[in-house]
Chains A and B, each alone.
Chain A
């Protein structure tokens, strides 16, 4: 209600009625407007690349598994739905013999992706993964592992890591200087 004290009650009532009429006219016009609704199963809105849904384990450009089984994602996960085992390959690279995410518990917060030092674990926009059987939501490493680099295509952790593996000897890594013979630069 209009509370302007200077107006006479009659003009006030008229103003109120007019406001009501405008409201009713607006909704009436909506009747003939095409609804804005996007109808989901028929129309799937293209989601932004950084939408957080189904999790994947990516590979580096050379096709090696990126995950080094450091347990950081598992540690940061607020609902503790990641579990794994760590092991070492012959060349010294670490990897996870098994890696399991329980999507029945995952809240898609994306913290695992932020914690991962190797850009191995990544969330994808694919959210259509509901299942009747809740145990079917437990994804094993085979289900998670993909054969591409996800969002960060070029990154290869072992090219930076300074660890001796098949990817590089000491001193051959990016931004790494040649090993210094500490005896040679004695005074």
Chain B
């Protein structure tokens, strides 16, 4: 009984720390994005609130929380209210299976540095990221506005297409690590990170990941120039903020997944493991921001063509080749 209670408390503490870190990082990721994007475009970015605009995320969140929460009269009220939570929750839940260290020994107890070592961790991640589409599609649908609806439909179509190549690009990794568990996948990269043996997989995974997180050049569901703000057009206040948090947590999760599957997870010399994982997440996020600062948005047909005619076949061929190598 006592061990059970201790384990429960431990879980809650871990959850609290991880959740706090993720939300904090999400807020400062927004800051980093605005700042870096500005420099990429030869601007300054936020520099009024605090030194280097470092208090900007706090100012933003205060603004978001205190703003009026408007629900359009014609909206489907319940779905409209729930949709942002779906986006944010699924993104946050995905982090549960990401290991951020091997294990810690405190008072003679072995503490695994992962919230839950699911043996089907990878499938869990995919299940949740597919569920995240519901937030986008339902949010767009429930707003009862044509732009939001278009954004939602685009989001659904795009995420279904890229989910496929995202999944296929990871099958070689599963074949190499011989496990669906993210902990085991990191263990399997003890000697070298998988990016060296699977560069094509990594490229496909990364492109699909950018598309999954609805970022430029794949931000068709939001497409400011044509759709206003796309699926979250009718949202205001903290509900809009939830979509925002969801997006940036999603970026972190994808960064963490890229780190776990290809960059050796928490492995690295000198620094403690969680720091390495954090550094890798930030690196992936920075590259995503750089991409956003450079590339224009794809057209819808180009998006579909890239997904179905390039990424999916390439991923399939990659699986066959990897299989052949493993057999030999």
Residues of A near any B CB (own CB < 8 A): 20, 23-24, 26-28, 30-31, 33, 35-37, 39
Contacts and interface: CB of A to CB of B under 8 A. Distances in A.
A39 B290 contact: no
A24 B44 contact: no
Contact of B39 (A20, A31, A39): A31
Nearest to A34: B42
A39 B53 CA distance: 14
Contacts of A28: 40, 290
B43 A37 contact: yes
Nearest to B37: A27
A27 B294 contact: yes
Interface in B32-58: 36, 38-44, 47
B327 interface: no
Contacts of B36: 31
B40 A30 contact: yes
Contacts of A27: 40-41, 290, 293-294
A126 B284 CA distance: 47
B42 A39 contact: no
B295 interface: yes
Contact of A24 (B39, B41, B294): B294
Contacts of A36: 42-43
Contacts of A23: 294-295
A37 B44 contact: yes
B295 A35 contact: no
A39 B45 CA distance: 11
Nearest to B39: A31
Contacts of B294: 23-24, 26-27
A33 to B, nearest CB: 6
Q: Which of A27, A28, A37 has the most CB of B within 10 A?
A: A27
Nearest to A22: B294
Contacts of A31: 36, 39-40
A30 B290 contact: no
21 contacts: A20-B295, A23-B294, A23-B295, A27-B294, A28-B290, A30-B39, A30-B41, A31-B36, A31-B39, A31-B40, A33-B42, A35-B38, A35-B39, A35-B42, A36-B42, A36-B43, A37-B42, A37-B43, A37-B44, A39-B44, A39-B47
A31 to B, nearest CB: 5
A1 to B, nearest CB: 8
Nearest to B287: A24
Contacts of A33: 42
Contacts of B44: 35, 37, 39
